[in-house]
Chain A
Amino acid sequence: MLKMIAKRLGLLIFVIFGVTLVTFFMSHVIPGDPASMMAGQRASEETLQSIRAQLGLDQPVWIQYFYYMSDLLSGDLGTSIRTQRPVVEDLMTFFPATLELAIVAFIIAILIGIPLGVLAAIKKNTFWDHLSRVFSIGGVSIPVFFSGLIAILFFYGILGWLPSNGRISVDLNPPTHITGFYIIDSLLTFDMAALKSSLQHILLPALVLSYAQLAIITRQVRASMLEVMNQEYIRTAIANGIKGRLLIISYALRNALIPTVTVIGVAFGSLLGGAVVTETIFGWPGMGKFVVDSIEYLDFPAMMGFTIVISIGYVLINLIVDIIYGLLNPQLKR
């Protein structure tokens, strides 16, 4: 297992190198001039040239790439063209917000999705099965911008229970920065006001975001549960008088979860990437909006920084999925 982890982490270096190479050259091939975006509505040729020189855009692409990589090796992701701040600083501001949202949404999706899938499987073709199908398919069918607005209208507009926008109340200071996750940081610093406010703020966007992934998990759990329930060892177990929760959870679900883990891994990746719309609707200060703005602005350093972080994220998620695989199925440990 350790060997596998080490090998995977070693592979990460090549992945990152490949990703930087491809994205750097691709982003420089797109027609468009960041200098003209920076210089404002109307810019004279002299101003454009001066900005291009400041940004190093007047150099050949491969020299720019060389400079970029040598900075990257020393941990410097450059300065954002749009915000004029170091990219690392921007990533540290926006990435934890997205990750926090994705993780909470992910937990909600699992906590609702797995039991719902199990329910659908053991109550196959009954009312409960149909209900779970309708509910979960609704998630993939209803676009996030719609379910998001409905959720806001209902919980904020009509009931007034939950806030509509942001990550924490504007009247409160964010908790001291430790992990960048408001929920964890406020727990660590015993900042109860911040904890309450950040929970209130994350609930709606996380629910909306998780709803879109719910169907995938529910349907997968249902399918694998049905498959497992038909297998020989379950029948043997039933014959031996094992039944009820013990049978379903310890015997069937454990095996049914193995294929589900892969799906869940993919789901988490989609949550990270798919948070863009949710973030826009809920004014969630995360990567989504930041990246879209950066792309529109042709802000290469910010785009590159984001791509690198996300690709590291994907490799790590895959690694975690494989580790969980191993834990669930000892045969795979070899």
Chain B
Amino acid sequence: MIKKLSYCFFIIISVIFLAACQENANAPSDSTTENDSNSNESTTTSKSDQLVVAMPADVTSLDPAVSMDNTAWKIIYNTYERLVDYDGATTNIKPGLAKEWKVSEDGKTWTFYLEDGHLFSDGTPVDAEAVKASFERTLAVDNGPAGVFSMISEIKVEDPLTVTFVLSETFPPFLSTLAANYGNIVNPKVLEHEVDGDLGQNYLASNTMGSGPYKLTEWKKGDSLKLELNEHSKLKPSITTVLFRVVSDPSVQRLQLEKGEIDIAEGIPVDQIDTLKELDNVTILQEPSLAVDYVYINNKNGNPALQDARVRQALNYAIDYDSLVSAVQLGYATQMHGPIPDGIWGHDKSVKQYNYDVEKAKQLLAEAGAEDLTISLLYSDNKTWWETEALAIQSNLADIGVTVKLNKVAYATSREMMDKGEFDLALGVWSPDFGDPYMFMNYWFDSSYHGLAGNRSFYTNSEVDKLLREAATNNDQEARQSIYKQVQDIVLEDAPYILLYQKDFILPMSKEVKGFVYNPMLESMYNLQDMSK
């Protein structure tokens, strides 16, 4: 038996090593180069019509009516089309499937005129019926995206290319929500794949049925996704194949980028960015993002001392913002100025910004009679930098005599605790789904959004509520802007949160990649149709 085993051993080992000493099969080989079996060199020249993106995690459901996940959205966004789109790098809206639109005086009726000639990847025309069916499906699936459209009361087909949405209440950001991922139009034929009344959810979880420039042609689960051209699309992009590869380890991504095996590396943390800058074939895109990092101060159920605005202000003054940004994000972030980040209309440099002032903080605590305060700080391992951030905050607050007990729990648990208000302080991130200050102001400060929905500090101020609801139902942008200014002044005095910083968006990519336009509203999504190599 042992003799046989040792023969097997030699055969297996020699086969493996013979195979091993061949050319690296993982590198995308040049289409004209056949494998040269004597070569030990790895082929790293990539095809000019193929883009390879390394992402840290695999995609979950691709159903636009279900997915609330940025990773999935990067596939969804290029395989579907929406009525309207974000214009270039801005949060302005431009025509998409709809060439024009109009809104009624009261802001409740929106009519869209579709451009003729858009086809789904199977050749089915994108008409008003399809738009209606797609939105009705999203509402019927009743998952996360349906929540965003809860104000739609009726969808009417006026003629094959005209569709009208009737809203139950005026909702000025409506147009902006249509440009987001929830607004993707699904081929009505999805219902042919319905199983047990699931409206095709199981099928759409791993397939695409849209009219975007690309379609999903292959998904090796846990490994890679391949997009190829939708031959029925009006757009003819120069990149014909896009490969999204799951590469979880940042060091491996770095090596692959260095060797030209991948074009874009999405999962490289800030502490490795500087070494990448030294590479000749790599360029690093750095732009302000709309993702913000902040601390929820529990205004209602936490330590009673936190119900005093002076204590919350003291905490705001106690943070050394500059050091925090350089310690936690290595400088790839900017201190927030007001709750609305720079890049969205409504951002206002004239509102109050807290600065690092230990004396002032101590004085405020003394006034409130809360010198020997002990509070907890809740966070999870969902963001790699939270541990460092929690420690920095703990040390900052210790300087003003506040003892912080760190409470690190599993991500799912932290979400439940935040929803129920079981914390004193908690770390959080927020990024907008649509380009409107509503995303920050109404969600964060309106008392009807208490808990996970947005107002995670359980802040209640009836005047703020009144003003915010007025802003949410007014179609006049200037009027809304001035209301939001008023609210910002109030909430900065009330200090229900500690506003930390606005993160930078950093993307290392090969210098060969051209035409990528970063839109802060479409974080982690690519304008593949305009890109080339």
Contact = CB atoms under 8 A, between A and B. Distances in A.
A165 B61 contact: no
Contacts of B524: none
B147 A84 contact: no
Given A36-B419, A165-B245, A170 B26 contact: yes
A169 B52 CA distance: 13
B222 A93 contact: yes
A253 B1 CA distance: 11
Interface residues of A, number: 77
Nearest to B429: A41
Contacts of B146: 47, 50
Interface in A42-59: 42-48, 50-51, 54
Main secondary structure of the interface of B (DSSP, over half): mixed
Contacts, number: 215
B25 A169 contact: yes
Contacts of A78: none
A84 B412 contact: no
B20 A162 contact: yes
A51 B29 CA distance: 45
Interface in A160-192: 160-174
B41 A165 contact: no
A32 B410 contact: yes
B205 A83 contact: yes
Contact of B19 (A45, A196, A296): A196
Given A47-B144, A285-B220, A42 B255 contact: no
Interface residues of B, number: 79
Contacts of B345: none
B13 interface: yes
A94 B249 contact: no
A286 B454 CA distance: 36
B363 interface: no
A33 to B, nearest CB: 5
A332 B237 CA distance: 70
A283 B223 contact: yes
A249 interface: yes
B24 interface: yes
A173 B217 CA distance: 12
Interface in A271-299: 280-286, 289-290, 293, 296-298
A2 interface: no
Contacts of B221: 90, 93-94, 285
A152 B249 CA distance: 11
A163 B224 CA distance: 15
17 contacts: A33-B416, A33-B419, A37-B415, A40-B144, A82-B60, A86-B202, A97-B222, A107-B12, A115-B6, A159-B40, A170-B26, A170-B223, A250-B2, A281-B249, A282-B252, A285-B223, A298-B412
Given A163-B27, A283-B248, 4 more contacts: A33-B415, A84-B60, A164-B26, A172-B25
